[in-house]
A and B are shown apart, each in its own frame.
Chain A
Amino acid sequence: GAVVSQHPSWVICKSGTSVKIECRSLDFQATTMFWYRQFPKQSLMLMATSNEGSKATYEQGVEKDKFLINHASLTLSTLTVTSAHPEDSSFYICSASGGQLSYEQYFGPGTRLTVT
């Protein structure tokens, strides 16, 4: 299957700081990338969908000014958690689809964010 990487895999930050998470498709062009959040023992929750070169579409209840998403190229999307708070601590996972893989999505390994 296609390969999607995510960086960093684990980050601890202080309350009030911003954290940027990168999601890269390594062997295909990802026209669409998705950002999810998952709390312990809960299902994945879609935060936003981003298409390359356009603004992300955020799910209801997700603050676009707090979770900044940039999808500037076909292989890279970034999620920036601004002014992080302890309740933002979660597992953030990106996924990508595109090209011949448009009907499948491949997940990055996830980023575990802990805000102290």
Chain B
Amino acid sequence: RKEVEQDPGPFNVPEGATVAFNCTYSNSASQSFFWYRQDCRKEPKLLMSVYSSGNEDGRFTAQLNRASQYISLLIRDSKLSDSATYLCVVNTGNQFYFGTGTSLTVIP
């Protein structure tokens, strides 16, 4: 079983829509969780960390469910500039495990 499983999509949504991505992880001892954004031919950039209490940054909300071992990212009021690949990352010990990434395209 993979350490991190993520639906690769693609997700094609109209501008203004709300879209949610989920990611599951297999190791209950995992300590830290992140969402990264990667644009085409660029390096991943940290979008936000995910905390147990859930956290929000503008239109983006991240949540962690330790009992079910999944993390989620919700994007409200999608913008064209949100089009990218979103990667979930799980830190276990000194190892970082990446999901395969979910491709999002926001359509005008």
Contact = CB atoms under 8 A, between A and B. Distances in A.
B55 interface: no
A106 B31 CA distance: 17
A106 B89 CA distance: 12
A98 to B, nearest CB: 10
Which of A32, A51, A97, A104 gathers most chain B CB within 10 Å?
A104
Contacts of A97: 96
A93 B87 CA distance: 15
Interface stretch (A13-21, A60-68, A74-82, A107-115): A107-115
A51 B94 CA distance: 10
Nearest to A2: B46
Interface residues of A, number: 21
A86 B1 CA distance: 32
B102 to A, nearest CB: 10
B41 A107 contact: no
Contacts of A106: 46
A43 B96 contact: no
B50 to A, nearest CB: 11
Contacts of A44: 44, 87, 98
How extensive is the interface on chain B, given as a class? 20 to 34
Main secondary structure of the interface of B (DSSP, over half): strand
Interface in B66-89: 87, 89
Contacts of B45: 107
Contacts of B101: 43
B22 interface: no
A91 B41 contact: yes
A43 B34 contact: no
21 contacts: A43-B99, A43-B100, A43-B101, A44-B87, A44-B98, A46-B96, A49-B95, A91-B41, A93-B43, A93-B44, A95-B96, A97-B96, A103-B32, A103-B91, A104-B46, A104-B49, A105-B96, A107-B44, A107-B45, A108-B43, A112-B41
Interface of A: 1, 32, 34, 43-44, 46, 49, 51, 91, 93, 95, 97, 103-110, 112
